[in-house]
Amino acid sequence: MSNPNQAYWDTLTLRYQELNRISVEDYHYGPLVPGDKELCLLPMITDEFSALELGCGAGQNSIYLSSKGASCFAMDISHAQLAHGSMLCADVNFIHHDMDNLNWPCEGPFDLIHGSFALPFSENPAAIIKKAARLLKDDGTLLFSIGHPLYSGEWLEISDNESGVFFEDYFNLHSDVRVDDEGAESASHYYTFEESISWFRDAGLVICDIREPKPLQIKEMTEEEIHARVPYDSDAWRDCYDEISRVPFVLILKAVKHSTVSDLNSP
């Protein structure tokens, strides 16, 4: 059975790429937050560096890495997204494949496997992380950003001057289900902090960095400054600024694979 995410993203791609400015001059982790030029989470790109991006969309992050000398493979379920990426850059190896189908048509090993807001669209992130771990070189890096669980709550106006986030049940977080004009659905899932960390730990990886980046203070910046420092931007996300500047909405997890990891994880 085909993944419903494909129909949704094939339909949405043109509008999505028009409404969102996604830079190829920096690595983005999410809307309005700093790129890697400021967060500095990417490993150093050396000779013969190889990278695989999961749920790449149009592959802007892979295009950025390719410009730095990396050999890049970028996988996505949407033909339309990959076609857009191919128009942006001919140096990235774009692959049409559902990441939930673990028979990935790329063997590795890779120095870096990464994704920006890709895992939330998977039905089994834990299995994907285990698969990715097997395709990493020793000392290779997994780097993923996902939706922060605190942002899955419902924003409520408490009084004229107060608002906050309400959770009915933090341990049973609601998914963000989107429906296009043709009725195609796409679900982005939220997970507790502990669940997300367990994906990497159970895959035998060592988590070496966790970030909850705050959006840059765009209200105090010129448009030129925003274009230089904010690699992912849109009017819709700017409208959400007051909320996302108070509650984290991006969670970044970085992990490495060590040849001695079994010893490190032993009780």
Domain contains 200: yes
pTM over 0.85: yes
Phi, psi torsion values for 137, nearest 5 degrees: -70, 160
Domain contains 263: no
- CATH classification of the domain holding 205: 3.40.50.150
Domain contains 187: yes
* Cis peptide preceding 248, ω within 30 of 0: no
Among 93, 112, 96, which residue's Cα sits nearest to residue 104? 96
Domain contains 171: yes
Joined together, the tokens standing for residue 173 give 């977080």
Residue 260, pLDDT above cutoff 80: no
pLDDT at 151: 92
Domain contains 264: no
For 46-83, the pLDDT digits (tens) are: 989 999 999 999 999 999 999 999 999 999 999 999 99
Contact residues for 107 (Cβ-Cβ < 8 A; gap 6+):
135
Domain count, the chain: 1
Domain contains 163: yes
Domain contains 155: yes
**Burial of 4 by CB count in 10 Å (0-12 exposed, 13-18 middle, 19+ buried)?**
middle
Residue 263, pLDDT above cutoff 50: no
At 86, the pLDDT band (50, 70, 90 cuts) reads very high
Asked if residue 144 lies in contact with residue 197, where contact means CB atoms within 8 angstroms, the answer is: no
Q: Please give the residue range of the domain that contains residue 187.
A: 4-258
Joined together, the tokens standing for residue 88 give 């942006």
In whole angstroms, give the CA distance from residue 33 to residue 117. Answer: 13
pLDDT at 182: 65
Mean pLDDT of 214-238: 95
